[in-house]
Amino acid sequence: MTLSIWLSLLMICILGAMSPGPSLAVVAKHSLAGGRTHGIATSWAHALGVGGYALLTLLGLAVVLKQSPTLFMFISYAGAAYLAYLGLNALLSKEGVAAKLSAGEKTSLSEAARDGLMISLLNPKLALFFLALFSQFVAVGTEVSSRAIIVATPLLVDGLWYTFIAIVLSNPSVLATLRTKAKLIDRLSGIVLILLAFRVVWQA
């Protein structure tokens, strides 16, 4: 895997992690209610779920590519359409982080970790996102090392991003600043997702 291809993967993983959604709400809930440690536990449990989805998706796509290139191309086009759909939703979104953040009752560390893991494992949109994303990278990452990088990148990005969120939210005075950037994150994510979708169609 070349550096430019990895940077493309890294960018889309960063923007995917930053996009507001149920995962942010859960991490924010435990960070605000239980403190920094609870938020970090939620973050890395969520990241493990993301890594599991990434691994399963990559292995499945590798099998499809080997056995049926035509089916793989169909999946790639479907993935491009889904990325474009996500991008349009982000561009048209009127709600950002402010609408997703919520506080709740303080829970134990094990409960915080459980919520983080389950919100990723039970999120079907995450599976679709990886299916769309990895169909663009699986063909260029046939070595074990490349596949390890493809799986590790979203796991680490997700864990580090939500750890950052947990640290930020442990200081309530910073929350207002985070909320003001919500629309910017949505717009940037939307543009990159749509550009990636066009890239898929162009290269197919």
Q: Are 54 and 155 in contact (CB under 8 A)?
A: yes
CA 44 to CA 120: how far, in whole Å?
11
> Is pLDDT of 99 > 60?
no
**What is the pLDDT confidence band of residue 137, given thresholds at 50, 70 and 90?**
confident
Domain around 72: 3-203
For residue 135, pLDDT beyond 60: yes
Asked if pLDDT for residue 139 goes beyond 70, the answer is: no
Judged against a pLDDT cut of 60, whether residue 3 lies above it is answered with: yes
Return the pLDDT at 18: 82
The total of structural domains in the chain comes to: 1
Q: 1-5: long-range contacts (C-beta < 8 A, 24 or more apart)?
A: 1/137, 1/140, 1/141, 1/143, 1/145, 1/146, 1/149, 1/150, 2/140, 5/137, 5/140
Task: Write down the pLDDT at residue 161.
Answer: 94
Tell me, what amino acid is at 203?
Q
pLDDT value of residue 175: 58
Q: What is the mean pLDDT of residues 75-103?
A: 67
Instruction: Please give the C-alpha separations between residue 29 and each of 34, 150, 156, in angstroms, as whole numbers.
Output: 8, 29, 21
From the centroid of its chain, how far is CA 173? 26
Does this model's pTM top 0.75? My answer is no
- Report, as an integer, the average pLDDT of 38-52: 92
114 or 127, which is more confident: 114
pLDDT digit string, tens, across residues 156-177: 999 999 999 899 887 766 656 6
